[in-house]
Amino acid sequence: MTTELYPEIEPYRIGELKVSDLHTLYYEESGNPNGTPVVFLHGGPGAGCRPAHRQFFDPNHYRIILFDQRGSGKSTPYAEIRENTTPLLIQDIETLRTTLAIEKWLVFGGSWGSTLALAYASQHPQRAIGLILRGIFLCRSSEVSWFYQQGASQIYPDAWEDFLEPIPLSERQDMVSAYYKRMTSEDEATRLQAAVAWSTWEARLAHLNLDPDAAASYLEDPRNALAIARIECHYMINRAFFPSDDALLNQIKSSLLGMPCRIVQGRYDLICPMRTAWEVHKSLPGSELRIVPAAGHSAHEPGISQELVQAANDFRSLKV
């Protein structure tokens, strides 16, 4: 069986799910309507889903469910951070599951999607038949500091200089707070300038080899950067609304033992360094860790995408 991405497909169903007076979520289903359900949890938070995300899954076997989290993609209102917390996102996943009359499903998430997948499955282990995770992130202080303060900047000082540029020297000791101040500004130009710089920093480090066109869409239309930057910063400054740095890891250890779990991790992931994936793997005896030697963070790096397809192929044996 090939480990290349499956051919492009179109959804057979598109819907909107009102989850509060403020928020309405976009969702879609593709693949086999009678197949094993799999829910795709996108990254960011705030990045939204893309058509290519359907292609990790065998459309003859899986009922593929994608949705845009609060404020992301086609969900409304766009880039909204009010009523946007991890507990509410977990609640939304359960609302979507019951709306679609699904008893159990495979949970697939990368980067922030791995955080949300672990948090969801830890609270609702009876609803997950397994986990496929990529680029593990637990939103601990050390991980946030690595990417937005001191760490990745040592490897990409040129890109870091561009990230620093919108922030006065007096505020650079806390870049997340400085950016949050600007992305919640009442001035639209200030919000958009900050969003472009924030998103560009991340996009430039997402691949092992720097992609000069990674941030092109943000530069062409700054509004493309707003949701991912504003919502991401909102979650970073609030440490994903977890009660403590180790809360999620402790919950994983107590709730997910024995659950089938495949972790795919780029060895040179600068956004979500491999140490976190290693800790989660060691906390879950029986989990599999597939390290991709020549890869960074993006799900679409060749070695990573192949491992994700392989994982979804292998997990076809799981029973609902």
| Domain coordinates in residue numbering, the chain | 13-140+242-317, 141-240
Confidence of residue 214 (pLDDT cuts 50, 70, 90): confident
Is 234 a catalytic site residue?
no
Q: What is the pLDDT of residues 150-183, one digit of tens each?
A: 899 999 999 999 999 999 999 999 999 999 999 9
Q: Is the pLDDT of residue 30 over 60?
A: yes
Per CATH, the number for 13-140+242-317 is 3.40.50.1820
Instruction: Determine which one of 234, 269, 287, 298 is catalytic.
Output: 269
- The residue with greater pLDDT, 224 or 260, is 260
Per-residue pLDDT tens for 73-114?
999 999 999 999 999 999 999 999 999 999 999 999 999 999
Which of 30, 72, 111, 153 is an active site residue? 111
Q: What is the pTM of this model?
A: 0.96
Q: Is 58 a catalytic residue?
A: no
Query: Is 111 a known active-site residue?
Result: yes
φ, ψ for residue 289, nearest 5 deg: -115, 115
Judged against a pLDDT cut of 60, whether residue 289 lies above it is answered with: yes
